[in-house]
């Protein structure tokens, strides 16, 4: 794997240079989702929430080259443990357990919410409210990246327009759009997205507590055990609520 790893690192560096804007030394969510690496059994899909959580080591919503190289090194180590035909599923499952281990610790939910806010606000232009300047709005493009990251269409058959309208309806019900200009139709208050993330936290923790013994979470930094169903966790949106479930259930 040595030569392949060297080639992959060079491709990663080339892609980083191609995608980073304005001389920045980091990528944001939308840019990272556009990364193109050689296709092989060892290629990881960037559109995986838990993998991004693990890759963003300082959880500032930015992905610098060192962080991506370190994550690539972790993946390379796992090629010695996982078979090629199950590599992606096992890596995603390991990252998912790492995420839920973080969620289950003390301030884990608050830290995860803070990371998600950083991930989204760093991603693209935001705007402040007209009536309440302290209120931040996220644009349609950023929410499209969130939608793609969570794989809502793939997992639950939810369209982006339905997802976006659901968030706007929630904003209207909470009175967060009162006094805002008509131009706000392509924006959603960050507060509504925080509520969505909070529901994700709650559902995820209940699911993991009911599905996996505690010692699995404690060993989340080890390679996946064969008796844990790789790729078993999926997330979705249904009737305005976030839920997690066994993949295929």
pLDDT > 50? residue 229 = no
Residues 21-28, mean pLDDT to the nearest whole number: 90
Q: Are 191 and 180 in contact (CB under 8 A)?
A: no
pLDDT in tens, 182-205: 667 889 999 999 998 888 777 767
Please state, in angstroms and as integers, the Cα–Cα distance from residue 2 to each residue in 70, 116, 123, following that order.
15, 34, 34
Q: Which of 91, 94, 132 is closest to 219 using CA atoms?
A: 94
- 243 band by pLDDT with thresholds 50, 70 and 90: very low
pLDDT in tens, 74-98: 988 998 889 888 888 999 989 988 9
What is this structure's pTM? Answer: 0.81
Neighbouring C-beta atoms of residue 122, cutoff 10 Å = 18
Residues 107-130, mean pLDDT to the nearest whole number: 92
The pLDDT score that the predictor gives to residue 216 is 55
| DSSP code per residue over 195-230 | HHHHHHHHHHHHHHHHHS-HHHHHTTTSPPPTTS-T
């Amino acid at each position: 794997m040595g030569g392949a790893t060297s080639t992959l690192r060079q491709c990663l560096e080339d892609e980083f240079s191609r995608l980073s804007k304005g001389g920045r030394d980091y990528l944001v969510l939308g840019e990272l989702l556009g990364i193109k690496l050689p296709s092989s059994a060892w290629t990881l899909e960037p559109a995986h929430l838990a993998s991004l959580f693990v890759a963003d080591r300082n959880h500032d919503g930015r992905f610098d080259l060192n962080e991506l190289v370190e994550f690539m090194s972790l993946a390379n180590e796992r090629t010695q443990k996982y078979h090629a035909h199950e590599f992606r599923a096992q890596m995603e499952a390991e990252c998912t357990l790492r995420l839920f281990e973080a969620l289950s610790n003390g301030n884990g939910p608050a830290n995860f919410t803070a990371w998600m806010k950083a991930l989204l606000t760093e991603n693209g232009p935001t705007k402040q409210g007209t009536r309440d300047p302290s209120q931040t709005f996220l644009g349609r493009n950023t929410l499209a990246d969130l939608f793609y990251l969570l794989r809502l269409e793939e997992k639950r058959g939810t369209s982006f327009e339905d997802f976006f309208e659901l968030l706007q309806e929630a904003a209207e019900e909470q009175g967060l759009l009162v006094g805002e200009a008509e131009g706000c139709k392509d924006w959603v208050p960050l507060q509504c997205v925080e509520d969505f993330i909070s529901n994700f936290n709650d559902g995820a923790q209940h699911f993991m507590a009911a599905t996996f013994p505690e010692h699995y979470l404690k060993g989340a930094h080890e390679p996946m055990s064969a008796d844990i169903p790789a790729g078993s966790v999926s997330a979705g949106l249904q009737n305005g609520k976030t839920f997690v479930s066994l993949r295929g259930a």
